[in-house]
Structure 1
Amino acid sequence: MPDASQKALDSVCDNCGASFVCGAAAGLASCWCMEKPPTGVAPEPGGRCYCPTCLAQRLSLPVDPTSRGA
Protein backbone atom coordinates (compact mmCIF):
# COMPACT_ATOMS: atom_id res chain seq x y z
CA MET A 1 0.00 0.00 0.00
CA PRO A 2 1.46 3.41 -0.94
CA ASP A 3 2.35 5.75 1.89
CA ALA A 4 0.84 9.24 2.21
CA SER A 5 3.81 10.98 0.57
CA GLN A 6 3.55 8.72 -2.49
CA LYS A 7 -0.23 9.19 -2.65
CA ALA A 8 0.26 12.97 -2.79
CA LEU A 9 2.38 12.54 -5.96
CA ASP A 10 -0.14 10.34 -7.76
CA SER A 11 -1.97 11.46 -10.88
CA VAL A 12 -4.86 9.67 -12.56
CA CYS A 13 -4.65 8.66 -16.23
CA ASP A 14 -7.12 10.59 -18.39
CA ASN A 15 -7.68 7.46 -20.48
CA CYS A 16 -7.80 4.40 -18.19
CA GLY A 17 -7.98 5.86 -14.68
CA ALA A 18 -4.74 4.22 -13.51
CA SER A 19 -2.76 5.92 -10.76
CA PHE A 20 0.81 7.00 -11.63
CA VAL A 21 3.30 9.77 -10.86
CA CYS A 22 3.39 12.73 -13.25
CA GLY A 23 6.54 14.64 -12.38
CA ALA A 24 5.21 17.92 -13.78
CA ALA A 25 1.94 17.72 -11.85
CA ALA A 26 3.82 16.70 -8.70
CA GLY A 27 6.10 19.74 -8.96
CA LEU A 28 9.22 17.71 -9.72
CA ALA A 29 11.98 19.02 -12.01
CA SER A 30 11.06 16.55 -14.77
CA CYS A 31 8.73 13.70 -15.65
CA TRP A 32 9.19 10.26 -17.19
CA CYS A 33 7.23 11.43 -20.27
CA MET A 34 9.88 14.06 -21.00
CA GLU A 35 12.17 11.17 -21.97
CA LYS A 36 9.80 10.24 -24.80
CA PRO A 37 10.38 11.61 -28.31
CA PRO A 38 8.42 14.75 -29.22
CA THR A 39 5.14 13.95 -30.93
CA GLY A 40 4.18 17.25 -32.50
CA VAL A 41 0.69 16.71 -31.11
CA ALA A 42 -0.72 19.30 -28.71
CA PRO A 43 -2.53 18.03 -25.60
CA GLU A 44 -6.23 18.64 -25.18
CA PRO A 45 -6.91 21.98 -23.46
CA GLY A 46 -7.56 21.24 -19.78
CA GLY A 47 -6.65 17.61 -20.33
CA ARG A 48 -4.67 15.53 -17.89
CA CYS A 49 -1.70 13.24 -18.34
CA TYR A 50 -1.72 9.67 -19.59
CA CYS A 51 -0.09 6.80 -17.71
CA PRO A 52 3.00 5.21 -19.29
CA THR A 53 0.95 2.41 -20.89
CA CYS A 54 -1.71 4.66 -22.43
CA LEU A 55 0.85 7.22 -23.62
CA ALA A 56 2.84 4.45 -25.34
CA GLN A 57 -0.36 3.28 -27.04
CA ARG A 58 -1.22 6.82 -28.17
CA LEU A 59 2.31 7.42 -29.47
CA SER A 60 2.05 4.26 -31.59
CA LEU A 61 -1.11 5.51 -33.37
CA PRO A 62 -0.81 7.39 -36.66
CA VAL A 63 -1.36 11.14 -36.27
CA ASP A 64 -4.17 12.78 -38.24
CA PRO A 65 -2.69 16.12 -39.42
CA THR A 66 -6.18 17.64 -39.72
CA SER A 67 -7.11 17.06 -36.09
CA ARG A 68 -6.38 19.43 -33.21
CA GLY A 69 -4.94 17.88 -30.10
CA ALA A 70 -4.28 14.22 -29.51
Structure 2
Amino acid sequence: MKPSASRSQSSARCPRCGNAFDCAMHREPFDCWCRAMPALPADRLDPSGRCLCPECLAEEIARAAQAGPGAGPA
Protein backbone atom coordinates (compact mmCIF):
# COMPACT_ATOMS: atom_id res chain seq x y z
CA MET A 1 0.00 0.00 0.00
CA LYS A 2 1.57 3.25 -1.10
CA PRO A 3 0.32 6.64 0.10
CA SER A 4 -0.70 9.11 -2.55
CA ALA A 5 1.70 11.89 -3.46
CA SER A 6 -0.69 14.72 -2.77
CA ARG A 7 0.48 18.31 -2.33
CA SER A 8 -1.93 18.65 0.60
CA GLN A 9 0.01 16.04 2.55
CA SER A 10 3.42 16.59 4.08
CA SER A 11 6.46 14.38 3.96
CA ALA A 12 7.34 12.59 7.19
CA ARG A 13 10.03 10.14 8.21
CA CYS A 14 9.19 6.88 9.97
CA PRO A 15 10.81 6.66 13.42
CA ARG A 16 11.25 2.87 13.04
CA CYS A 17 12.69 2.34 9.57
CA GLY A 18 13.62 5.89 8.50
CA ASN A 19 11.64 5.75 5.24
CA ALA A 20 9.94 8.92 4.03
CA PHE A 21 6.16 8.81 3.51
CA ASP A 22 3.21 11.17 3.05
CA CYS A 23 1.36 12.08 6.23
CA ALA A 24 -1.85 14.10 6.55
CA MET A 25 -2.09 13.99 10.35
CA HIS A 26 -2.46 17.76 10.70
CA ARG A 27 -4.74 18.22 7.72
CA GLU A 28 -8.27 19.45 8.41
CA PRO A 29 -10.44 17.53 8.12
CA PHE A 30 -8.20 14.60 9.03
CA ASP A 31 -7.96 12.50 5.87
CA CYS A 32 -4.84 10.34 5.89
CA TRP A 33 -4.09 6.95 4.33
CA CYS A 34 -3.89 5.43 7.82
CA ARG A 35 -7.64 5.84 8.32
CA ALA A 36 -8.16 2.94 5.91
CA MET A 37 -6.14 0.63 8.19
CA PRO A 38 -7.41 -1.14 11.32
CA ALA A 39 -6.93 0.86 14.50
CA LEU A 40 -4.27 -0.11 17.00
CA PRO A 41 -5.49 -0.89 20.52
CA ALA A 42 -5.09 2.14 22.81
CA ASP A 43 -2.50 0.34 24.96
CA ARG A 44 -0.24 -0.01 21.88
CA LEU A 45 -0.25 3.71 21.04
CA ASP A 46 2.63 5.99 22.01
CA PRO A 47 1.18 9.50 22.44
CA SER A 48 4.66 11.02 22.33
CA GLY A 49 5.62 9.04 19.21
CA ARG A 50 5.49 10.07 15.60
CA CYS A 51 3.47 8.43 12.83
CA LEU A 52 4.72 5.17 11.33
CA CYS A 53 5.04 4.56 7.58
CA PRO A 54 2.44 2.27 5.96
CA GLU A 55 4.72 -0.77 6.13
CA CYS A 56 5.70 -0.33 9.80
CA LEU A 57 2.11 0.47 10.82
CA ALA A 58 0.91 -2.70 9.06
CA GLU A 59 3.58 -4.71 10.95
CA GLU A 60 2.52 -3.17 14.29
CA ILE A 61 -1.16 -3.92 13.57
CA ALA A 62 -0.23 -7.55 12.78
CA ARG A 63 1.81 -7.83 16.01
CA ALA A 64 -1.08 -6.40 18.02
CA ALA A 65 -3.48 -8.91 16.47
CA GLN A 66 -1.14 -11.82 17.26
CA ALA A 67 -0.45 -10.65 20.81
CA GLY A 68 -4.12 -10.23 21.67
CA PRO A 69 -5.74 -7.59 23.88
CA GLY A 70 -3.75 -6.01 26.69
CA ALA A 71 -0.35 -7.25 25.50
CA GLY A 72 1.20 -3.77 25.42
CA PRO A 73 3.78 -2.34 22.95
CA ALA A 74 6.43 -4.62 21.48
Q: Once the two structures are aligned, what percentage of the paired residues are identical?
A: 31
TM superposition score normalised by structure 1: 0.69
Residues 54 and 60 of structure 1: CA distance in aligned 2, closer, same or farther (over 3 Å): same
Look up the match of 2:17: 16
Report the 3-state secondary structure (helix = DSSP H, G, I; strand = E; otherwise coil) of the residue aligned with 1:10: strand
Q: Which of 54, 59, 64 is equivalent to 1:52?
A: 54
- Counterpart Cα distance in 1 of 2:25 and 2:67: 24
Alignment of 1:1-70 (within 5 A): 9-25=10-26, 27-29=27-29, 30-41=31-42, 42-61=44-63, 62-63=66-67, 65-67=70-72
RMSD: 2.3
Q: Alpha-carbon deviations, 1:11-66, whole Å to 9, x = none?
A: 110110110011114x2531000111222235212100000011111111124615
- Stretches of 4+ aligned residues off by more than 2 angstroms: none
TM superposition score normalised by structure 2: 0.65
Paired letter, 1:19? A
- Counterpart Cα distance in 2 of 1:52 and 1:44: 16
